[in-house]
A and B are shown apart, each in its own frame.
Chain A
Amino acid sequence: MNFPILSTLIFLPLISSFFIFLSKDKTNNYSSIYISLFSSIATFLLSLFLWYSLDVKTSEFQFVEEKSWINNFIKFKLGIDGISILFIVLTTFITPICIVSCINSIKTRVKEFLIAILILETFMIGVFCSLDLVIFYLFFEAGLIPMFLIIGVWGGPRRVYSAFKFFLFTLLGSVLMLVAIIMIYWLTGTTDITQIYEITIPKEYQNILWLAFLSSFAVKMPMWPVHTWLPDAHVEAPTAGSVILAAILLKMAGYGFLRFSIPMFPIASEFFTPLIFTLSIIAIIYTSLVALMQDDMKKLIAYSSVAHMGYVTLGIFTLTKQGIEGSIYQMISHGLISAALFLCVGVVYDRLHSRMISAYGGLVNYLPKYSFLFLVFALAALGLPGTSGFLGEFLVLTGTFQKSYLAAMLATFGVILGAAYMLWMTKRVIFGTVNNSDIKNLKDINKSEILMLATLAFFVIFFGFYPLPLMETFNVSVNSLIDNYQIALNGN
């Protein structure tokens, strides 16, 4: 196929953001909203077409594009396989939802906000398409800038602190990754990862390189103990920012582990598995307990995200079929569920301007539709069978059990805590009697809000009962990932 479909996909949002920039909205911002909605839906449809035409029976990279960029030193190389396509579709699916959510929640500088979102989309899709380390690095880090602005400009009262904290943490990791990329180039003479896969990086360098990549991915994931930026960033970010952050940005690190750390440094991955297990278990138990005590809804969900990401890292480094598939599934599912939960908080925040759990209570009396959807997502977040949240978690735990009984037991224990904090929050927000008299004047969710939340609810439940469309997509790619890993280990 000669048509550069991946480049089109990546740059479509960027180009349309340019049109928004040109549009002249003064009083209302409908034209910019329509342009961005149109372009993001077009991007989504294009990504669906891509998914449809992807051959899932092979683990080869497909739709590969390759252009020499800087003197043959850095190539602009793109390509996707069964794993990355799902993250692309997730990105293109979440973006229009974010744009719809802006209608209710963003009141100032709407045009600029939409531009930031679309540019961010370009970078995110770029991350999942890159087959060159430098290109990957550029997209990976460039995503920081629009996100930094989204928090810093449209955020809450402590937005500057949060934005800087977010920036400091992520930048620290990134610098080390850049050094590692330069070192890889120096060792192998290329930054094209398909070529690096063929070369075995010397054993003595693997550990240090792996750690450098970890420092970046651990922050983005986020893993314990570098997770503290996430609750602050979420609390201050506007709804759409939180949604993108939780649904997609957190997944880039998990994807990074699968695409880079494990295939490039298999020996180091094996060596450091106990470390990852320990950090993941701490993340699951520790942050679940912390989540239990939160009085701010967004913080609670943010901490629960850290715990859920703990399952992802745990699953990836089991290097078992169930573990990795579970992790990918958990990432996709968390993308939907956490997005929905942040949207839910956004819905009531737009009405009452408080994120405190204590400000609510008894919402079901006045907002029955909202309460129903909220309950669905809370149950999905605690991993109820029949929702997508269950399968990911359960597969991860099945995979973990094959590597370590203790880790699996502790992680399974985290599932109990997950139920505790989610249900306790639901009880305090949704059920009970109305204490705050303002609640009586609240209106139930409007059409655009129903559209967003019901769509997400549909997929959360659909993929809980029928996960095969997703699992068949990444099945072969995961197999080859594990096979290559085993071969690399046995070779040494």
Chain B
Amino acid sequence: MEYAIIFLPLIGSLIGYLGGSITKYFSEITTSFFVSLSAILSIFVFLRGIQNDIYGNYLVFEWISSGKFTANWSINIDPLSSVMLVVVTFVSALVHIYSIGYMSHDPHKPRFMSYLSLFTFSMLVLVVSDNFLQLFFGWEGVGLCSYLLIGFWFKKETANNAAIKAFIVNRIGDFGLAIAIFLIFFFFGTINFEDAFEATSLYAEKKLVFLGLELKLINLICIFLFIGAMGKSAQFLLHTWLPDAMEGPTPVSALIHAATMVTAGVFLVVRCSPMFEYSEIALNFVTVIGLITAIFAASVALVQNDIKKIVAYSTCSQLGYMFFAAGVGAYHVAMFHLFTHAFFKALLFLGAGSVIHAFNDEQDIRNMGGIRKKLPYTYIFMLIGTLALTGFPLLSGFYSKDAIIEFAYLKNSPLGNYAATIGILTAFLTSIYSWRLFFKVFHGTYNNKIISIKETHESPLIMLIPLLFLSIGAIFSGYFFKSIFIGDHSVDFWKTSIFFLSEIKSDVIPLWFLLITPILVVISVPISFYLYVSNPKLIEDFKNTNLPLYEFLLNKWYIDELYDKIFVRPAKKIGSFFWKKGDVGIIDKFGPDGISKLIKIISNKTGRLQTGFIYDYAFVMLLGLSVLLTYLILK
């Protein structure tokens, strides 16, 4: 059964691609069917794990063996991977079904469905890995599928560029991950998780000289691991690819760039908790980067106008939350937020897709508004998604996000308090931008000039059903799974898959602190309504008086421009320089071309000596003879 979970999507992908031309809906139905089957089995495995405690490591076959460098293809089911299995296959199945409707007019559906299934397979390979190499395979495999799907509309120049950007920025992250793997192999002599984690405590104090600096081995490993996670999870400095990735079709954004792939970084940190626990510095680094990302992305999301980009920045920001949860040592809470986030963020993306669909591919929220009556179901689903994302009491986001802030507070360190404060502030910003999006799309006046309000239409049933399932998840996943993920049963559930060096603190949290976030979240609803619906002039005035700030946020802190100036252009310039000056100008000029030119010159000169006139030769002979004679006489 474990094999089936992993390989069904792959089989679906192959059959769907090859059989695309058999009948009209062949590939849609096969891929959706196979992934749904895999989802059902995953849920079964997950529940079986909770109830009967059945986990295991299943070998597929031996992959590589070079000295001590050995790795297997394996399926490792433990509590952590079983959670990921559910998230990945469940969201994936719904996205597959949704795509049948969403992509119905696209001529390349078989290819699209096949890529989606292939992605699901890669992601599953990633999460069930029992060694770093297979993880790396999945890691780059999902990157590949992300590349293929972002660039799915291959005629769009922007889509192609976004695809390449995503791949290359991810490669920068992969660079960190690769270095971490080299370090682990070099010092621990293994790349298996279990053996490496066991060895960690022995090397906790080991120091090494790395590029001239004396550092602790474990810090170095963890920081490089985290650089890998930063690339995949679009954390600050390596986040630039994620907003651009919205060039891909919306179901892709929901599956890859919200629910699953981007959370792989969080998964990695949690998976490697036995290492991170020994590295105070790396954990602090994770916290800081997580915090910066959370607030940075939320601030940018406030002013964006593209519906998908707002949700994308929101994803970025929520991933920041997960990381700072992990950074303060609350790995299980990070996983819990990952779990709930998958539901409501996929819901928001698919809902946004439904809106875009209704407007015939319009994505600018300034050109929307007032369509709640035309899209009643989408309206309700988006409402649920927004409530869950903002952490409205009793919905899923409430349980997981507040838990993160509480754990940061319980950490009782300067950084922990700081994290809690930023966390609360970001929660407030999150609700503002979420409601801004919601009100601008569904309330206010209708602003689209291209199509009239009558032409907008509700999405077909096949797109709404997945939304329904996700809404159920967005409402209830927090309440029902709280106790096993982070509550009383959490220790029984996670077992050894998450490692805590010291006992988690469970002091009583003051009531005022518990109430801050929910209150802020609740009052932000009328505030946003006032700002964006009742009295939009106010915010317009504010914008005009603070234009530099607005521009700064609108242009995403100018990070893309900065990268272009300091990395992209110099790389091209240096490349041209090496080619034109290095290869052609120096090596060839003084190498083969120079030699052949020299030979030509010499042979021309020597050639000229042969004049053909007898008196020239006689003169030279005479000259030689006299020199020889002089020499002999003088001797």
Contact = CB atoms under 8 A, between A and B. Distances in A.
A290 interface: yes
A353 B563 CA distance: 38
A228 interface: yes
B137 A431 contact: no
Interface of A: 164-165, 168-169, 225-226, 228-229, 231, 286, 289-294, 320-322, 325-326, 362, 364-365, 379, 384-386, 390-391, 394-395, 397-398, 401-402, 405-406, 408-409, 412-413, 415-417, 419-420, 423-424, 427, 430-433, 465-468, 471
Given A168-B595, A398-B182, A432 B154 contact: yes
Given A225-B587, A402-B186, A471 B65 contact: yes
B583 interface: yes
Q: Considering the complex of A and B, which 7 residue pairs feature the smallest CB-CB distances, nearest first?
A: A321-B67, A401-B182, A289-B575, A293-B575, A385-B137, A431-B154, A290-B579
A320 B189 CA distance: 13
B61 interface: yes
Nearest to B64: A467
Interface in B41-65: 61-65
B66 A423 contact: no
Chain B, interface residues (CB within 8 Å), range? 35 or more
Contact of B587 (A228, A326, A468): A228
A384 B588 CA distance: 34
B550 interface: no
A292 B572 contact: yes
Contacts of B584: 228
A228 B591 contact: yes
A432 B179 CA distance: 35
B164 A423 contact: yes
A398 B185 contact: yes
Contacts of A466: 61, 63
Contacts of B576: 293
Given A290-B575, A293-B572, A325-B66, A419 B167 contact: yes
B160 A385 contact: no
Contact of A405 (B61, B66, B69, B211): B211
Contacts of B596: 164, 168
Nearest to A423: B164
A321 B583 CA distance: 34
20 contacts: A229-B592, A290-B575, A291-B575, A292-B571, A325-B66, A326-B66, A384-B141, A390-B140, A394-B133, A398-B69, A398-B181, A398-B182, A408-B179, A412-B175, A415-B174, A416-B175, A420-B164, A420-B168, A427-B151, A471-B65
Contact of A427 (B160, B178, B574): B160
Contacts of A401: 179, 182-183, 185-186
B144 A379 contact: yes
B271 interface: no
B155 interface: yes
SS class of chain B's interface: helix, strand, loop or mixed? helix
Given A408-B179, A423-B164, A423-B167, A468 B62 contact: yes
A148 B576 CA distance: 29
A467 B61 CA distance: 11
B578 interface: yes
B422 interface: no
Contacts of A394: 133, 136, 178
Contacts of B63: 465-467
Interface string B161-201: 10110011001101100110111011000000000000000
B19 interface: no
B210 interface: yes
B487 interface: no
Contacts of A417: 571
B583 A397 contact: no
Given A289-B571, A416-B168, A169 B154 contact: no
B66 A471 contact: yes
Contact of A228 (B154, B175, B572, B592): B592
Nearest to B586: A225
Interface in B544-596: 571-572, 574-576, 578-579, 582-584, 587-588, 591-592, 595-596
Nearest to B151: A431
Contacts of B541: none
Contacts of A286: 578, 582
A394 B136 CA distance: 11
A367 to B, nearest CB: 13
Contacts of A424: 164
B455 interface: no
A286 B574 CA distance: 9
A231 B592 CA distance: 14
Which one of A164, A325, A423 has the greatest number of beta carbons of chain B within 10 Å?
A423
A293 B579 contact: yes
Contacts of B133: 394
B106 interface: no
A228 B136 contact: no
Given A229-B592, A384-B144, A433-B155, 14 more contacts: A228-B583, A286-B578, A289-B571, A292-B571, A293-B576, A364-B154, A390-B140, A395-B66, A405-B210, A423-B168, A431-B160, A465-B73, A466-B61, A467-B64
Interface string B591-626: 110011000000000000000000000000000000
Contacts of B147: 423
B168 A412 contact: no
A326 to B, nearest CB: 7
A168 B575 contact: no
Which one of A228, A385, A401, A468 has the greatest number of beta carbons of chain B within 10 Å?
A385
A468 B69 CA distance: 13
A413 B175 contact: yes
B606 to A, nearest CB: 20
Which one of B211, B576, B578, B582 has the greatest number of beta carbons of chain A within 10 Å?
B578
A431 B73 CA distance: 33
A439 B624 CA distance: 71
